[in-house]
Structure 1
């Protein structure tokens, strides 16, 4: 590419912008004065956003969305033709793994191919999606194949779902580009959001994102493995954890046990493992531990209760606390295992609308045993004399916990 310079970015398109990553980013940058176009194929979700309603739970977004719509700076479309009018195109699509736990490269390639076919010389293409190592440089080669003079940057999102609007302006932004100019343009964009910039080569930026989620996933697996060991010894895992972490700095990273789920942790660990010739055996073992936890809990219950005539209630079906996202939630795997072992399974969740779910009151009244699936605030002070399995150690000590004895 030539050494020509470009005016500051003012028009931004967010591809996949109606999702959990794209929509908070679009709202924030529109609030900051950018002219923002959300491009998404989900017409139903776009209509909901146009009406001023958020399609999912995100802190402070219910108030921000109508404010941004009133400015006229937020536009919504399902047509990719809108990409040509932008200075910056940000891709925020999900990058799932397939049935073999390998990255679904074809879906990503299809979106990128469509995106590039509507871009023009001089634009900046920024990838926020999680990708496996080497994808950014490969994308740079694809741009050359399209004979496009487009700068390519990779800037992984790092937010915790539900806290995006706060973290986007507080957390440092990792920035990389296939050329120094691409990285410079991406850095300038985030500096306008007053973010601290950490610049890396593309391969290191890709690894930084994958290392972060894999590290957390493996840490959760360690805690879950220790929980299983404590249960087999008839010990209280939370009491042991409190003993080894209290005023002991070297153990402050010891995570609590619980369902390690959601759309990122397992997926990113498997992405890191997929093309590394099984070198990441630690990640694969973590997957077996974390994904096996629902089965372990049910097997432990079976050693103390005849489940066949009983009704078991699952408190929380979202993948994490105070969240309305059920994607990859292990509560659904728990429900599947319980369905084969007990008379009836009741599920409840205050954030997820599902006609198959029951109210909290009905779940408490009709269940013989309860299992905490997500640590929603609504459950913290529940009153019941039913045995409760609480692998998270979330409920007060007064409630029945652990092995449901």
Structure 2
């Protein structure tokens, strides 16, 4: 795609489309904190209002202070007006490829969203695709823009952060950048060099797979740990005790994670995208999905063998998809809840961080009411829990073993 003339008369160095979410907002804050003029465009009006008030719409360690700092300095603005896109030199689009209820990716989601913004693109802009993309979507976007006669450059620079650690990892992790030509690669690299010292260059197709491989590899590692947990637990043995022993001063086993719910908005979804990319011949990925998604039912089945669940009130501690998070997207704690609602007398749920679920109960009420507790998300505050009833703790958060 031919590059248009560079235009320097932009109001913003960067405009983040979808900048009110878990990926876009930390990135926008990070750019602004490094001195760039940053605009956020997001369709979520409440999120925009919250940001402009100097507050975060979700938990992200270290981001609140930085947000207030860049707002006070006048380096960050947010709006629901899409015309903001025309005012940015670099347009970072944080819209990924979703997976439908049949586990099929929608490769048209990103091009469709960009089509709605096409009237606001200007020559001289760099369009940076940031979220996970199904392989080939970058090229599809390039074709779409060319067919529409929109003369802007395109790069794919996948995010690599873990929720809760964005404000550290954006500045410390190497940044992958990809584009179709050396000048665009250099331009994308220069943008992200404002955040991190190390820039890794790939082709768009390589970068698309690199992102999927990264998340899938994590998902497979969690599945291995969960499968090992089931093997040990079925024999009445403590997997976490075994894991700790085999990893002690032994680097080749140091990355074996604890057992527990492997969920959230990325790992499962991206594993299924990679499976679709291989015409559903990704046996290892599907096996990992069966192990991880099957863990809630396994735990309930083990508990049923020991307790009369039908007569018991069960308390689930932690409904976020991981510890120290308020994000419930694809959380397996909710899958656990659905299973228990059919098998137990009553299910009570609590979480110190989740605010979007009105059905949650205070921790004190759950502790006073439940006959059995299950740790769903390993929030650190549960470590000192003085539980008056048995606790099923696959994470071994309490340090009393993981056998169920």
TM-score (norm 1): 0.95
Residues paired across the two proteins, number: 401
Aligned to 2:372: 369
Give the structure 2 partner of residue 402 of structure 1. 403
- Per the alignment, residue 286 of structure 1 pairs with 288
| Aligned residue in 1 for 2:272 | 270
Superposed CA deviations along residues 159-218 of structure 1, whole A, max 9, x for unmatched, are 111111111111100000122222111001111224310001111111111101000001
2:57 to 55, 58, 76: 55
Question: How far is the alpha carbon of 1:2 from its aligned partner?
Answer: 5.0
Contact 1:137 1:178 in 2 (8 A): no
Residue 313 of structure 1 contacts residue 371 of structure 1 at CA under 8 Å; is this kept in 2? Answer: yes
Q: Matched residues in 2 for 1:78 and 1:381: separation?
A: 43
C-alpha distance 5-277 of structure 1, shift in aligned 2 (>3 A) = same
Over the aligned positions, Cα root-mean-square deviation in angstroms equals 1.7
2:76 paired residue among 60, 70, 74:
74
Q: How is 1:6-405 mapped onto 2 (pairs within 5 angstroms)?
A: 11-353=13-355, 354-397=357-400, 401-403=402-404
> Aligned in 2, Cα 1:8/1:243: closer, same or farther, shift over 3 Å?
farther
Write the deviation string for residues 256-300 of structure 1: whole angstroms up to 9, x where unpaired.
110001100001111111121123111011111100100000000
Q: Contact between 1:259 and 1:330, CA under 8 Å: does it hold in 2?
A: yes
The Cα offsets for residues 329-381 of structure 1, whole Å up to 9 and x where unpaired, read as 10000000000001000101000123311111111111111101011111001
CA distance in 1, matches of 2:100, 2:5: 41
The answer as to whether partners of 1:53 and 1:65 remain within 8 angstroms in 2 is: yes
- The structure-2 alpha-carbon separation of the partners of 1:402 and 1:273, relative to structure 1 and needing over 3 Å to count, comes to same
Give the drift of 1:308: 0.6
- Counterpart Cα distance in 2 of 1:134 and 1:61: 33
CA contact (8 A) 1:136 1:178 kept: no
Could you tell me whether the CA contact under 8 Å between 1:140 and 1:178 is conserved in 2? no
Superimposed CA distance per residue, residues 108-160 of structure 1 (whole angstroms, 9 cap, x where no aligned partner): 22211122332011110000010011111221111211112211000000011
Q: Is the 8 A contact 1:388 1:401 kept in 2?
A: no
Quote the offset at 1:249 in angstroms: 2.8
Q: Distance in 2 between matches of 1:125 and 1:139?
A: 10
Q: Secondary structure at the residue paired with 2:311?
A: coil
User: If the length of structure 2 is used for normalisation, what is the TM-score?
Assistant: 0.95
